[in-house]
Structure formats: C-alpha cells, structure tokens
Structure 1
Amino acid sequence: MEFDAVLIGPRRAREEARRWWPGRTINDELDACVAECPGKIALTAVCIGDGQATRFTYAQMARMADRIAVGLARLGVGRADVVSIQLPNCWQFTLLYLACSRIGAVLNPLMPIFRERELSFMLNHGGSKVMIVPQRFRGFDYEAMLRALQPELPALRHLVVVGATNEGAPAPYSFEALLGGPRWEESSDAEAILTRHRPGPDDVTQLLYTSGTTGEPKGVMHTANTLFSNILPYARAMRLGREDTVLMASPMAHQTGFMYGLMMPIALRASAVLQDVWQPEAALALIAQERATFTMASTAFLGDLADAAGKTGTRVPTLRTFLCAGAPIPGALVERAREALGAKIVSAWGMTELGAVTLTRLDDDDERAFTTDGAPLPGVEAKVADESGRTLAANVAGRLFVRACSAFGGYLKRAHLNATDAEGWFDTGDLATLDERGYIRICGRSKDVIIRGGENIPVVEIESLLYRHPAIAQVAIVAYADARLGERACAVVVPKPGEAVDLPSLVDFLKAGKVAVQYLPERLLLLEAMPSTPAGKVQKFRLREMLRELDTRRP
C-alpha cells in the first residue's frame, strides 16, 4: 500500500525541534520492557464468557509477537502491507499489532459491530492483504460473513480465523495453525524477517477508519511519533507510571482502547488488563482482583460502573482515576461515581485524528469535569474562530481548530479532506467555547455526526439508505438526548402521500442493507413537512428543538 501521509513531512522539523516527537516506535518500547522487566506481567486478557484469563510477561509477549510476525511474513505480509483485524479486546489483538510493527506492516483495527456494508468499503479502500476475525463473537458468525465477502475483496489473500477448528483440531486457516502455534521465531530466517523491515517513527503504523459527513468512512493514518507524542504527555497528566495497572474495556478498535489500553502500558512498563465484553459487575471484579488503578471509557460505562458499585456495595480502593470521554458528563453522575467508586473523574475530549486533545487536571475541582471538556495537553493548541477565521473572544461559541503534535498524517486517498491549513490548524468540525482559563466546552458539531455512547453514527450514510425506502419522501437523522448513552438517533420522516411508515419497518429496511445495529435509529418522528431554509436545506436544529419539546412534555 502506498500511504499518502502528506501531513507528516511539513511539520517534522518543528515537532522534533520542540521535542514533541520522541522518535521511538512500539518496537523500541517493547524491547526496553524485555530488557528492564522481562518477568513482569504485561498483559492479562479476560474472556467474560468463560472467565478464562490469559497472561503474558513482557518476555513472553515479545516472543509471541516475534512468532506471529514471522507467521504473517509466511502469508506474504511485508512492509507497508495492511493487516485488518475485527477482534474484541483479546490478547491476539495486542500481539497482532506488536507483530505487524516487527515487520513494518500496518494494522487496521475494525470495530466488531461492523457488518458487510462497512467492511466491504474499508477492506477494499485499505487494500487489506490479511483479515483476522473470531469464528464467533457474541453469537455472530464472523467467518461466514467474511467468506461471503471475499469474492468482492481482490486484494485480500488470506482470511485467518481465531478459534476455528476442524474435527477438534485447529483448522488449517486458523490463527492457531498459521500464527500462534508454530514456533516460527525459531526458524533459520526469523532474525532477518524480524529486523530488515522494522518501521521508523514516521512510517504509518495504524490505519483507523472514522465516520464523517461524506457518506464514506475516512482512513486515518498515524505514525509512532503522532501516537506517542500524545500518549506520553497524557500519561504524565494522569500521573501514571510502571506501577500502574490499566483496565481497558473500551474497544481497542477505537483510539481510546488502542492508544491507552494497548500502547500506553508498554510505554510505561506498566500492566494492562483487557475485558472483551462490557459487564459492569465483571469490571468491578477485575478492578478488585487485578488491582487496577486507571481506566478510560465513555460516559455510559462510567454510569454503569457507578450503578453496579452502588447496588452491590463493591469497593475498588485501588482505582484512582476514571477518565471519561465521548459525551458530556452530567454533574449528578460525577457526584454519584465519586461516592460509589472513590476515584477521581476526569473529563476529556479527543478525536481519532488527534488522540486526546483536552483533559481536566487531577487537581481540578470536580465541577470542571461536568462544566468543561478540559484544557489542551502539552503539545496541543486550540482556538475558536468564526466562519471567516477570526479568533473569537473567550466564552463565545465558534468553530474549534486544533494544532497538535499528535495530529494524524492525513486521510488515506482522501488528501482533499484533510482539513488542515498551511499553519497546521485542523478544523475539527466541532463548535466550542474557550474560557479565560484555557478550558474548552464542546457545544455542538458542524459535522453531521451523532455520538451514541462514544460511537459515531454516520448520519449521511444512514439518510442515503433511507431515501431508497419506497414509502419515504424526505428523511433526516438527528440526535436526541439519552441519560446513559449521551445521544441516540431519531429518524424524522415525511412519508410519501398515502404511505405509512413505522419504526420497525425502517429498522428492518436498514438491517437488510447490512447496517451495524448501533447505527439504527431508535426513535421515529413523522412530519407533514420538514422545517427548511429558503434554499430548501433542512433545519436540523429545529428538529432537535422539536424532540426536546416533546421530551419535556412527557410525564
């Protein structure tokens, strides 16, 4: 794959001169861990379904990474080739990234919620050479889905299935038979394979798709420098070190899980605990058992964990900090979580393209966690401007621009969408205020995206599908408030004359289009006409006001 990470070169000298880019890769960090603490438990991966926990010391993790790396090379994977994985939080996820980094391949994590529609675009766009999936996860047959998709994926050479068996033994195409089982690291050519194509800190190491307003996902390209330049100041701000244990239940196919659950513990010589399925009671048990000190997740996770702790009376004295991002945190939840968990609640805001941008500080009053989204991390600048680009005064809402050492290298094959000016300012697509203390507050989005429990819903894509519904004349997808998930999606529909529309039929229509379940609208509002501008553009703010008024009237 030819990666057009055009945003890296122009700022290399600046970032290196300011020492924001550390010039190290995950290979350097893992090798240092093996040298400094080979016997320390690096990774504990827990399968909630059967309670099985798999543990690796740093020495064991490095050896397994080498084994998988040589196995990938045997499958034809080389420098700058894309390896896609659609896995839950499991040890294979972590080890596959480390293995790809050994041979200069690029990992492309894909959310387990994605189905045929999303995957066919992403795997073709990224030119994925190998795809790795579980045979089944949460009752869904991933192998069958990918087998059906394979004829449409000309670049895909191998489908590798974790846990696939044939008459009780690992199937020939299984992860166990191809990558995890054979002692590839002991073969005569292993050293050459593991050393000749190691990537540099400015080579693309991660390809992560994010939903936008164009109707197609965008492939975000990151390097070791862009990722670590965020991870290291983030860890310092949270006062994390080698004695910490990080619990990660947020999906590692999101930047949250990838950067702070996979990469950060290795950079700190700390320990990571992975939870594959979110169950708050199980999370409490893991925190207590593994003595976790830090975790990061969306607001919905925080509410679930606080409720579970309150109901069960479980105490987790080792947990110092819960960093919450993805949706605003209600003040009542901060108070409830502080009482139930005893941890400091930190508010944060970030993007796939940037990592965490702002955090509240550990010494801040609790109030700032629910009245602001934090202040920029070191190496990050933020400004709020009007439509003409003029910087606005404090506490005046406008478009949020960010210039960060952690900014991505660009969108794969979509450089025209990079939204970054010659001075390095990235248009986030969000509306915000910036107060006198330098704290931001996200107050809206110019991008037409709904964030449901930390998961972006691609509004334009869902609307485009619904316009194909035979009974729909006009449709708009808008957000409505939800106490647990922050936002949910409502379909506002103008039916064609004489046609009837109901929510189950809309959902069935979208499911037939292989849309991810989390993207489905959960509410329907029928109108005779859409509120529009004189030019005919739908006024979505009016629709959101209608929903708020309807909710206010409810008993």
Structure 2
Amino acid sequence: MAGTNRLLTLLTDAQVRAFTEAGHWRDQTVYALAREHARREPRRVAVRERLRSTTYGELVDAGDRLAAALDQRGLRPGDRVATWLPSRVETAVVLLACSRGGYVACPSLHRDHTVAEVAELLTQMRAAGLVVQAGYGADADRSDIGEAVAGMEHLRFSLQLEPPAAGGVVPDLPPAGTAPLSEDPNTVVYLAFTSGTTGRPKGVMHSDNTLLSPARALAADWSLDAASCLYSLSPLSHNLGFGALITALAAGAELVVHDLPRGASLADRLRETGVTFAFGVPTHAIDLLAEVRAEGAAHLPKLRGFRISGAPVPPVVAQGLLDVGVVPQSGYGMTEAGSHHYTLPGDDPAMIVGSSGRPCRGYEVRIFAADDPDQELPRGEVGQIGGRGASLMLGYFDDQAATESSFNRAGWFLTGDLGWMDEAGYLRITGRKKDVIIRGGHNIFPVKIENLALRHRDVAKAAAVPVPDGRLGEKVCLVVQARSGKSLDPQEVLSHLDRAGLSRYDMPEYFVQVESLPLLPSGKIPKRRLVEWIDEGRLVPRPVRFTRGSISRTR
C-alpha cells in the first residue's frame, strides 16, 4: 500500500513503472493536458451549454483562478473539493483546479440528493471546498445548503453560483496569481461516490492517469480528435458523464452538455451542434430512437457513434441505432474502472448488438465462479466478472476493509456483475449478482426478461424485480411503461415473451403497468425503489399465470 495525497491507496511504485513503461500511463495531469490544448488552440470550444460556450483558453484560465482561490483559503494537496451542480462548465473548472493544485474533485452530488444527504457526504469526505448552484437539489424549495454547512469546520472554501446565463465562467474569482502547480499524475484527483443502494456510499478514488488511460484508448479506437463533438446525456455528476468530459479533454474535442428544457427536441440539439459521438445509458438511446422514429424519415447526419453503458444494452436498442445510421458502442464500465470495455466501429453488427465488446488497451477481464471468487472459469461459462489494469481505481476512500474485500487473492477486482466471454474475448453481461431472482433455487436473470420485453412494439421501458413468496422465496414481477397512448394487456405481453424465447421457468408471475418508470440522474431505472414501492403498497402487482395457448390471471 502507498499513501498518496495523504489518502491510503492501492498504488505501488511497481504498478506506476509497469503501466508507464507499457504506455498506458503518462507523465501528464489532466490540467497539463488541457493547458496544452489551450496553448495550441485557445479559441477552440471546450464545453458548450445551451446559453454559454467556453473555449479551452477560458477553461484553463478559470481553472487557474479557482486553484489560486483554493490556495489562498488554505487548502492543501489531498483536500477534497465537492460540486453540487447540474451539467455545466464549472464542473470542468473544478476538475482542472484540483488537478493543478493536487486537490481532489468530487462532482458526484446529484440532482436528486437532498440538502441533508449532501451534508452527510460532505462530512464523510471531510470536504474543504464546495461549489454549488443556487436553488439546486431535491429539496431546494425548503432547505438551504448554506445553513447546513455553516458549522462544518473542515469546509474552508464555499462558492455559490447562479443558474447559467450568457457570460463568463465563474467571473467572481480573482486573478490566477501564483498558485502551486502539482505535476504528479498518480495522486488522487477524483472522488466519486457510488449509489449506496446497499448501505453507506463508497467513495471511489482515481488519479489523473487512471482517468485518462481508458479515455485515451476510447478516443484512439473510435477516432475521436479535436474535430469531434461529443455529447453527454448523462449528467457530469455521474461517472459516465464525467467520463465523457475526460474523453473530450483527452481528444481535445468539444463537449456539449445535456441541459435542454423539458420537452425540447434532443434530435434537433444533436443536429444543430454537429455532435459526432454521444454518451448515455440505454434509456437515453430508447428515448432518442422514439423521437427519431416519430419524425418519420428523420436522420442524424453527423452522429456516427453512441456509447451506451450503465446497464446492459438491449439488443433491440443497439439494432435500432444501426437502423438509423448510428453505430452503437455497446460498452461495459463502472465507477471503479471507467469505460474499459466496448465494441469497435468495425465489429460485426452481430457482436455490436449481442455483446459488450472487449477490454480496451491496458485492461484485462476474467470470469470467476460466483460462489468462489478465486476459481477462474473457462470461456463460455457464466460467472462473476473480474478485472484489473491501468484504469482501475486506487481504492475506496477511508474504507480499507471495503477496498480489500473487493479483490480476490490473485488481485482481480470483483465487480459483482455476472457474465461470460466467448472464444474471441467478447463479453456478454447477464446481470448483477445481487439482482438475480432466485425462485425455488432456480436463478432468473432480470436483464434477459427486460430485453425480450423491450422487443414488444408497445413497451417503452421495462424492469423485472422480485416479489417475496412464502414457498418459493421469490417470484418475478414485470414492471412496464408503455409507449405513448398505449395500454398493455399482460396476457399478450407474456405471450410475446414466450414467442421471443423466454423459458416458462423464467416467466413473470406478477405484472404492473406504470405511467412512467422512475429514473436516476444517470438514466438508470432504480429497481430497489420499485421493490420498496411494492413493499409499501404504492405499486400493486397483478398476479398472472402463463400457460402456452392461454394466459390466465390468478385470483
């Protein structure tokens, strides 16, 4: 173990040498990379919002000024600087300031967090700096973050921004002056908290190099460069959106953030900004396809790639993008290891539609037995996915026990995801280990049911969740959102699942149609919340029983 930034991490000198000699890591921080872009083309747009565009020159200048302000307030290398912001350029400013000064940026405070939850996270990370937007958050109408943090002795810098408007970037900051310059790309620069669905959120620590390694690989594999225009449908507070920002910086490209008002056309925004590559989760792709199809013969002339991550890509969604001329990058990644797995533009369409691709340069994946993390499985067998490489986190913040328990004895990080690899190394995700529904000892994988349900012409979104059963332990409940104006007959949906190839042993035994499925800021469907709603009686599953040729509802 090595202590860097006064934070206990997994990093060793041997790893630094190995990854550097292999070319996966470089002697360059995120700040130094952005500064290089600014010197070459200071007027090139770095981040575009609906009302503002910020050039690389302006971005680096703002990062310099914020770094100076943090230094003047007594922050020291290793101190944490949190942001509670919608997707706006100041998230990038804070990142550059932290990379320059040796501080740690924590942008993973989300829109649906309450003031109390944010205050708890600030206390957990012992934040020394905070940048927020006025009136932002789940309970901004009745709670004030300023009041909540007033007594935090560890908080030495606080900046409140107004909602974005045409104008400069953080104009209230003083001139840059002579702030200290950190040039070590192997210290902690990024702290991201996991969703915390199983307890206290865990803080994932990354260095400049662990962030940039997969971003550089992705940019090279998909020919992203300074002429590219990237668009993130995921918020910058989420790891996928933040990864889009890092990829844009790695390529010297423009990043367009998703800040459209409700009801505005995403397809129009992609066209008018000339977006060439997008980042999002399956829900985002589903919504974009629905809009494009509603337009009839509409097309997206410049959009040539769409990274879909955060959840397994339903094959019908991947095929839908191909049908409108967009090559999906079916990907697999996580906060702990970045966007390390994806398909390539030249892959066979069957692989793009049916797999999550292969690992990027600098990363390896193996499959281990779900009940024995030290037993590696052969190709073709389903087990727990393990990984290691240049994009892997440096550990969990202030949680050595969680860090050590996440690895097997051979040093492979255990993801908690289940999948299998074919002989060519392409990965197929079958679900989360913790999401598997166990009915009378039979393992049922929700993602398979969801993918088949989405093939139904009137199903817009779907989630398969467990319902407790006194005899069998659990049964499957299918929760669906219909396409606009449609009403779904559960009997017909089950018949569709049967025709699509779902085993009768995996067939849902409960059904719920909702007007709208809830979404996390990342765009994922929060299945745990659906289970809670069922437990609380807010959702009332309707019992159904499938028999081939006829489907009856049980009473």
Query: Which TM class, normalised by the smaller chain length?
Result: 0.7 to 0.9
Instruction: Please state if 1:326 is matched with 2:310.
Output: yes
Q: Hey, what does 1:28 align to over in structure 2?
A: 32
AA aligned opposite 2:414: D
- Where do residues 370-385 of structure 1 align in structure 2 (5 Å cutoff)? 370-385=353-368
Q: Does structure 2 retain, via aligned residues, the 8 Å contact 1:120–1:153?
A: no
- Where do residues 381-396 of structure 1 align in structure 2 (5 Å cutoff)? 381-386=364-369, 387-388=371-372, 389-396=374-381
Instruction: Please state if 1:237 is matched with 2:235.
Output: no
Q: Hey, what does 1:269 align to over in structure 2?
A: 252
Q: Hey, what does 1:203 align to over in structure 2?
A: 187
Distance 1:139 1:393 in 2: 46
Distance 2:10 2:334 in 1: 19
Q: Hey, what does 1:43 align to over in structure 2?
A: 47
Distance 2:35 2:400 in 1: 35
- Where do residues 436-447 of structure 1 align in structure 2 (5 Å cutoff)? 436-447=423-434
Post-superposition shift, 1:120?
3.6
Identity %: 25
Cα pair distance change 1:316/1:427, threshold 3 Å: same
Distance 1:143 1:164 in 2: 18
- Where do residues 163-242 of structure 1 align in structure 2 (5 Å cutoff)? 163=162, 180-182=170-172, 184-185=174-175, 190-191=177-178, 193=179, 196-211=180-195, 214-242=198-226
Distance 1:164 1:303 in 2: 29
Cα pair distance change 1:490/1:134, threshold 3 Å: farther
Question: Per-residue displacement from partner, 1:31-88 (whole Å, max 9, x unpaired)?
Answer: 2112211121222112xxxxxx211222122222222222333333332211111111
Post-superposition shift, 1:23?
2.3
Q: Hey, what does 1:123 align to over in structure 2?
A: 122
- List gaps (5 residues or longer) in structure 1: 47-52, 171-175, 451-477, 495-515, 528-543
Post-superposition shift, 1:339?
2.8
Distance 1:13 1:447 in 2: 36
Higher share in helix:
1
Where 1:370 maps in the other structure, the secondary structure is helix
Cα pair distance change 1:290/1:28, threshold 3 Å: same
Question: Per-residue displacement from partner, 1:228-267 (whole Å, max 9, x unpaired)?
Answer: 111111111222111100011211112211122x222122
Pick one of 400, 409, 415 that aligns with 2:400.
415
Q: Hey, what does 2:486 align to over in structure 1?
A: none
Pick one of 326, 348, 357 that aligns with 2:331.
348
Distance 2:545 2:207 in 1: 42
Q: Hey, what does 1:19 align to over in structure 2?
A: 23
Q: Does structure 2 retain, via aligned residues, the 8 Å contact 1:248–1:272?
A: yes
Q: Hey, what does 1:462 align to over in structure 2?
A: none
Distance 2:46 2:535 in 1: 53
Question: Per-residue displacement from partner, 1:409-465 (whole Å, max 9, x unpaired)?
Answer: 000111221223464311111211111110111112224699xxxxxxxxxxxxxxx
Q: Does structure 1 retain, via aligned residues, the 8 Å contact 2:115–2:139?
A: no
Cα pair distance change 1:147/1:138, threshold 3 Å: closer
Post-superposition shift, 1:364?
1.5
- Where do residues 464-479 of structure 1 align in structure 2 (5 Å cutoff)? none
Instruction: Please state if 1:403 is matched with 2:388.
Output: yes
TM-score, normalised with respect to structure 2: 0.75
Where 2:328 maps in the other structure, the secondary structure is strand
Distance 2:264 2:287 in 1: 9
Distance 2:12 2:265 in 1: 41
- Where do residues 270-309 of structure 1 align in structure 2 (5 Å cutoff)? 270-277=253-260, 281-309=264-292
Q: Does structure 2 retain, via aligned residues, the 8 Å contact 1:134–1:142?
A: no
Instruction: Please state if 1:521 is matched with 2:530.
Output: yes
Post-superposition shift, 1:206?
0.3
Where 1:390 maps in the other structure, the secondary structure is strand
Distance 2:326 2:313 in 1: 15
> Which of the pair has the greater relative contact order for Cα pairs under 8 Å at 6+ separation?
1
- List gaps (5 residues or longer) in structure 2: 438-445, 455-459, 471-523
Where 1:184 maps in the other structure, the secondary structure is coil
Post-superposition shift, 1:114?
1.7
Pick one of 88, 97, 100 that aligns with 1:99.
97
